[in-house]
Amino acid sequence: EKSSLPAEWSGSGFALKNGYLVTNYHVIDGAKSIKINGVNGNFNTSYNAVVVGSDKINDIALLKISDSSFSGFGSIPYSISSNTSDVGEDIFVLGYPLTSTMGDEIKLTTGVISSKTGFQGDVALYQISAPIQPGNSGGPLFDKKGNIIGIVSAKHEGAENVGYAIKATYLRNLIESCASPSIIPSTNSVSTLPLTGKVKSEKNFVFFIHCTK
């Protein structure tokens, strides 16, 4: 029920080409205003975004920055991979968990793919061991080369270090149905960098999303 929503809440998201970006459907559900912070690492400027398409079932939303002052994300350093990753593959997560207490600096957590299916065997999800918190929702799940393989969606209530991420294939389906595949970044410029270098480059394309109703 929408009326029980707090007046404001937040999540994470990440860049596609041409001013498009991705987050979870549940992050923007019920929002009258959606503001994006952290574009190119800049927290002093926030941009308005509108919802272009959503997949409620798989909990994905496609947004687009609608501000005339927006001049583009620049060259996106990752590609989005729709190959299925295997159990045991190293992964990392970037996002903005619990900003009220943890501060608004982006947070990195690392882990592995624990399972190729999610909650109750859901094939749309990966189970991951990287610790995630509220606020990480909608952020990117990266493989060890720094490509995006999923969208962080939730942690398992009551279980420690059990998180879920929606596989990037489902994002591709949404993009193809309500935009164009040409907005999907397809070049990775960071695969040979150490994790510190990957994070330094990729964090400028991971955003703090602030919603108000």
How many residues does the structure list for the chain? 213
CA-closest candidate to residue 36, choices 25, 18, 21, 26: 21
Does the active-site annotation cover 29? no
Q: Out of 46, 55, 59, 143, which one is annotated catalytic? A: 59
Does the active-site annotation cover 59? yes
Does the active-site annotation cover 137? yes
Q: Out of 12, 81, 114, 137, which one is annotated catalytic? A: 137
Structure tokens at 77: 């350093």
Asked if 108 and 93 touch (Cβ cutoff 8 Å), the reply is yes
Helix (H), strand (E), coil (C) string for the chain = CHHHCCCEEEEEEEECHHHEEEECHHHHCCCCEEEEEEECCEEEEEEEEEEEEEECCCCEEEEEECCCCCCCCCCCCCEECCCCCCCCCEEEEEECCCHHHHCCCCEEEEEEEEECCCHHHCCCEEEECCCCCCCCCCCEEEECCCCEEEEEEEECCCCCCCEEEEEHHHHHHHHHHHCCHHHCCECCCCCCCCHHHHHHHHHHHEEEEEEEC
Residues acting as catalytic residues = 26, 59, 137
